[in-house]
Amino acid sequence: MSTRYVGARIPRNEDPRLLQGHGLFVDDVRLPGMAHMALLRSPHAHARIRRIDTDRARDAPGVLAVYTHADLGALGNPLPKLIPHPSLVHHKTQYALAPDTVRYAGEPVACVVAESRYAAEDAVDLITVDYEPLPVAATLEQAIAPQAPLVHEDIGTNIAARYAQRVGDVEQAFAAAPHRFRERLVIDRGASCPMETRGVVASWDARAGRLDVWDSTQAPIPIRNGLAAMFGLPQQNVRVVAPDVGGGFGPKIMMFYPEEILVPLAAMRLGRPVKWIEDRRENMVATNQEREQIHDAEIAVDADGRILGVRTVFLYDAGAYIPYGLIVPIVASTTLPGPYRIPNYHCEFTAVFTNKTTVSPYRGAGRPHGVFVMERLLDRVARELRVDRTEVRRRNLIQPDQFPYDVGLIYQDNAPLRYDSGNYPACLDRALEIIQYAEWPARQGTSRSQGRYLGLGVACYVEGTGIGPYEGCRITVEPSGKVFVATGVGTQGQGHMTSFAQIAADALGVAPRDVAVYTGDTGLFNWGTGTFASRAATVAGNAVGLAAQAVREKARVVAAKLLEAPAEEIELEGGRVFVRGVPARSLSLGEVALAANPLRFAMPPEWEGPGLEAIRYFTPSQGTFSNGVHACVVEVDPETGMLTILRYVVVHDCGRVINPTILEGQIHGGVAQGLGGVFWEKLAYDAQAQPLSTTFMDYLIPTSAEVPPFEIDHVETPSPLNPLGVKGAGEAGVIPVAAAVAQAVEDALAPFDVRIAEMPLSPNRLRQLIAEVRRTT
C-alpha cells in the first residue's frame, strides 16, 4: 500500500470553501421563525439574589419569554459532573441559571427570548435584580486563608480536592542530596479567545419529537447524549451538529454551558427555533478560563547536576465550579517530569474554589505549568552549579535506548505514564544547531557592547497525547467513486478534512480531494468522545486508517470476483481497481462499490454485508508521547521593559507526520498562544473579583506584529502503539513557551540579576523587577 499522501504537504480540502465565505458556522444557521436569546449576567462576583423582577422585560416589544431559575424545573439542578475522581470530594457543578447565589461575575441569572437580539438586549436592560453582595474570595491565597469567604457555603471550605502522586522516596532523596534548590512559581489566568465565540441554535419538531442543535462545541456526541438524558428524549431523536467551528482550544469541550441547556429548552417551550450567539464580552467572562497555579517547587541534585528528586506542592484555581474535575492539575503533575530521569518525585496539589469564572482545560491543560516548573528548576541548578544550561539538561535526559520508559505515575487517562518512543537528545541537538547556540556567547557579548540586551532560552518537554477511550470511523465508497469518511470527533481548525482524507486516500488509492470527511455531526456518526488532549489525529486518525484498510480489503474481495483473480493480486490506485501487472483489466472504485450492493440474487457470504463500507474503532491502551524543544532569542529594553521576540525555533517530534503544513499551522497557533501568555495576556481583576479586561483593548492577544516568523524542524520517532505511528500535536506549540522565554529574559537581563518566577510578564513588571534588584543591591 502506498504512502503517497500521508506525509505530503497537500493543500487543505476545507480551504476553498472557507476562504470563499461558504463555511457554515453556528451563526450562519438561519431557520424560519428563528428567535434570539440574550442573557442577564451577574455583575457581582459573589452575591445572594434577593429578588428578580422580570415584569417590565416580559412586556417589552418583541419579547417571547423571560426565564429565571424558578422556570427551569429539574433543569435547574446542578449540571452533570464530567470527570469524577476519588479525591474530588466536592464536585460542585454549575447551573443553567443561578438559583439563589451568584458565584462569579458573568454567571447567568436570567434569559430573554425575543424576535431579535436587539430586542432581547433591550429587554434584558429592563430586568431588575436585587443583589445582596457577599464577601469575595478573589484570589487563590484569599480563598485558602482561614475565615475565607466561602464560595459554596454548604461545604464549609473552599478546597475541592487534594491529591498527591509520588515515585520513590523523595524525603530520603532530599535528605541525602548535596544540593537542594527551591522556587516559588506563579502563573496567572488566561482566556482562550477563539476567533469564533460560542453559540447554540436549537430547533424542536414537536410532531416528529426531534431536537436538532447546532453548537460550537468540541464534543457534539456527549452533548447529544446529555441533552437526550436531560430532556427525556431518545438519543436517536436528538441530533447535535458542530459545524465549522472557529477555534476550540479546550474551553469548548466543557459541558454543559448554561446556554447549551437554555437554548433547547426555549426552543421546545416556544415551538420556534432559538439562537444564541455569545458576544466577545460574554466570552471573556462566561467561557471557561485556565492557567492559574502557584507552585512551591524544589529540586535535589548531585554535584554534577543530576536529578535526585523533585517535589512540588501547588495551588490550582478551579474558579467557582469544577465540572471538569482535576484534569488540569493532574496533567500538570504528570507533565512536570518531562524528558528527564527523575528517580524520586512528589507532586501534590490543592484545588481551590474562587469567585471567578469556572476553569477547565485550555490548550496545554496544565502541561505548560509542569514544564515551566521543571525548566525553571533546572535553570536554577545550572546557575547555582555553574553548569551550562543545556549540559545540565543533557545529563538528565532519558536516552533513546530507554524506551518504553515508565515514569511511575498515573496519567490523566488513568493509565500508567509510560513514554513509548522518542529521541530527546536529538531534538535538543537540532534545536541548538538551528539557534546557533555555540556562537551565542560571542553574539551576546557583541550586542551588549552595543548597549543591547539580548537573551537566549531553551526548553524541553514531553507531551502526553492520543489518549483513549476510543474514536470510531465509518468509510463508505459510493457508486460515484467518491469516498465518504465520517468520524465522531469535531474539527475546530485542525484540518481533519484533509489529514483524514490523506489517510483514507493512501489506503484506497484515490486522491484526497475525492475523499469527503464529515466530523462533528451526530446524525452521521454517533459514537465518540470529542476533540481534546491532542488526540484526534492519533485516535480518530487510526480509526480512519483501520476503516480504510477494511474497505480496501473488501474492495479486493469484491473485485477479485469481478476480475476473476485472487484478492491478493488486486491493487487500488488512481481511483481504479485492477489485477497487479494487468492495468488494462480494471474497474473504477465506484463500479466495485456498485457491484458490492447487488439488487437481486445471492450475495457472497464472505462479503459480510453489502457495500464498500466499514466501521472501525481505535482504542488505545495508553497515550503516546510527543516531545520537543523550543529555543528563542529575545531582546529586552531595560529602560522601558519592552520585550521583542527576535527568533523562535521549534523542533518537534510527533511521530509520523500526516501533513507538514497542517502540523506547522498547529505549532504556529500554539506558540502564538504561548507567547500571549508570556507577555501580553492576563485576566485582570479588582479586589472584588470584578473582571477588568473583558475586551481586546485590555486583554491583549498578540498580533502578527508581535510574533516573529517561526523556524520549525521535525524529528520523527514513530509511535509503536498505533498502526499509523502518529502522535498528537495539537497543543505542542504552547507547552514550553513560558519556560523558554523566561530563561531568555533572565539571560538578557543577567547584568541586572533579574529572576523570572512568574507569568505573564509585562513592560511594567520587568521595570519593577529591575528596579527591585537595584534597590536591594
- Chain positions contacting other proteins, by CB under 8 A: 43-45, 105, 117-118, 121-122, 125, 131, 279-281, 284-285, 639-642, 680, 682, 684, 686, 688, 690-695, 697-698, 700, 702-703, 705-706, 762-764, 767-768
The nearer residue to other proteins, 416 or 763, going by C-beta atoms, is 763
In the sheet where 576-579 sits, what is the strand order?
A: 570-573, 576-579, 582-588
In the sheet where 453-465 sits, what is the strand order?
A: 453-465, 624-637, 642-653, 710-714
3-state helix, strand, coil in the chain (%, to 5): 35, 25, 40
Render 485-517 in DSSP notation, one character per residue: EEESS--SSS-HHHHHHHHHHHHHT--GGGEEE
The whole-angstrom separation of Cα 654 and Cα 663 is 9
Local structure of 672: helix, strand or coil: helix
The whole-angstrom distance between residue 335's C-alpha and the CA centroid of its chain comes to: 15
The nearer residue to other proteins, 91 or 682, going by C-beta atoms, is 682
390: left (phi over 0), alpha (psi -120 to 50) or beta: alpha
Shortest distance in whole angstroms from residue 202 CB to other proteins? 21
The nearer residue to other proteins, 44 or 272, going by C-beta atoms, is 44
The whole-angstrom separation of Cα 74 and Cα 687 is 35
> Are 214 and 267 spatial neighbours (Cβ–Cβ below 8 Å)?
no
The nearer residue to other proteins, 34 or 434, going by C-beta atoms, is 34
Local structure of 309: helix, strand or coil: strand
The whole-angstrom separation of Cα 196 and Cα 205 is 28
The nearer residue to other proteins, 44 or 291, going by C-beta atoms, is 44
The nearer residue to other proteins, 220 or 641, going by C-beta atoms, is 641
The nearer residue to other proteins, 112 or 407, going by C-beta atoms, is 112
Shortest distance in whole angstroms from residue 703 CB to other proteins? 6
Return the C-alpha cell found at 48: 445572594
The nearer residue to other proteins, 387 or 766, going by C-beta atoms, is 766
Local structure of 217: helix, strand or coil: coil
The nearer residue to other proteins, 26 or 228, going by C-beta atoms, is 26
The nearer residue to other proteins, 114 or 255, going by C-beta atoms, is 114
The nearer residue to other proteins, 102 or 300, going by C-beta atoms, is 102
C-alpha distances in Å from residue 765, one per residue of 372, 381, 743:
18, 25, 16
The helix or strand, by DSSP H or E, that contains position 159, with its residue range, turns out to be strand 159-167
Shortest distance in whole angstroms from residue 337 CB to other proteins? 35
Shortest distance in whole angstroms from residue 79 CB to other proteins? 25
The nearer residue to other proteins, 477 or 749, going by C-beta atoms, is 749
* CA dihedral of residues 285, 291, 296, 300 (deg, nearest 10): 180
Shortest distance in whole angstroms from residue 682 CB to other proteins? 8
Shortest distance in whole angstroms from residue 694 CB to other proteins? 3
- Sequence-distant (6+) residues with CB within 8 A of 602 are none
Shortest distance in whole angstroms from residue 773 CB to other proteins? 15
Shortest distance in whole angstroms from residue 413 CB to other proteins? 37
Shortest distance in whole angstroms from residue 273 CB to other proteins? 19
Shortest distance in whole angstroms from residue 94 CB to other proteins? 20
Shortest distance in whole angstroms from residue 320 CB to other proteins? 16
Shortest distance in whole angstroms from residue 152 CB to other proteins? 21
> Are 308 and 238 spatial neighbours (Cβ–Cβ below 8 Å)?
no
Give the residue from 621, 623, 710, 659 showing the smallest Cα distance to 422.
623
| E runs forming strands in 206-306 | 210-215, 238-241, 274-277, 293-301
Local structure of 413: helix, strand or coil: coil
C-alpha distances in Å from residue 333, one per residue of 289, 317, 350:
19, 15, 12
